[in-house]
Amino acid sequence: MKADERKKLILEHAKRLFSRKGYYDTQISDIVNEAKIARGTVYQYFKNKDDIFITLIKNFYQDWEANISIEMHKIDMSKINPVDYMSFRVKNTLQLLASDPDLCNIVLRMGIGLSGELETSIKRFEKKIHNLIVNDLKLGIRNHHVRRDLNIDMTSHLITGALLRTALAFFGNRRNRKDGNDIEKMTREIIAIFAPAIFIKK
């Protein structure tokens, strides 16, 4: 087996276990038993248990940022209207989170309870999504689509919280999995809630 594949194998089993049992209740033994590899093999690919976790999160960031930049190229910013733009953003985020329930669980639920670098790595994601929304709102204000008097920081927290919790509630476990249709519908409902208060009617 190639190095990349094996690293991926370990990450996949670790991800599933972290998602189901949490970081601290997942032992290296669990991972190697599930992956059917030797204990020492893990340490050929990762410095330690922390490193597995952090790698998992880092990969998620990269996917997320790649996804954003890819998706952003698909739309014509000069023609799209603000509501459609927000819908687009919300849908992309939901799609990404829906595509990996375990990672969704890990990223959205583990915060404190993790020490040092682990916590930092998670918080970075939350900060980034917040900033993304802040920037979108600022842009909207400059273009006279978004209400001037909006408290941008708080609104961004509200949207972040709403979005992530919905994702967690609906995608966080494998049983109530959602398909593309559901995500379309969810997006519409989310927009229906936030749009009236955010955008200036024309």
Partner DNA sequence: GATGAATGAGTCTTCATTCAT
Partner DNA sequence: CATGAATGAAGACTCATTCAT
Residues near DNA, by CB under 7 A? 1, 3, 6, 26-29, 37-45, 48-50
Residue 55 beta carbon to DNA: minimum distance, rounded to whole angstroms: 13
Burial class of residue 185 (count of CB atoms within 10 Å of its CB; 0-12, 13-18, 19+): exposed
41 binds, among DNA, a copy of itself, none (CB under 5 to 8 A by kind): DNA
* Distance between CA atoms of residues 148 and 6, nearest Å: 52
Q: Which is nearest to 126 in space by CA: 145, 143, 107?
A: 107
Q: Which residues bind a copy of itself (CB under 8 A)?
A: 19, 21-25, 105-106, 108-115, 119, 151, 154-155, 157-166, 169-170, 186, 189-190, 192-198
Residue 15 beta carbon to DNA: minimum distance, rounded to whole angstroms: 15
Nearer to DNA, 44 or 120 (CB): 44
100 binds, among DNA, a copy of itself, none (CB under 5 to 8 A by kind): none
Query: What DSSP state is assigned to residue 147?
Result: -
Contacts of 192 by beta carbon, 8 Å cutoff, 6+ apart: none
Contacts of 11 by beta carbon, 8 Å cutoff, 6+ apart: 52, 55, 56, 59
**Which tokens is 72 given?**
């952003």
Residue 108 beta carbon to DNA: minimum distance, rounded to whole angstroms: 23
Residue 120 beta carbon to a copy of itself: minimum distance, rounded to whole angstroms: 13
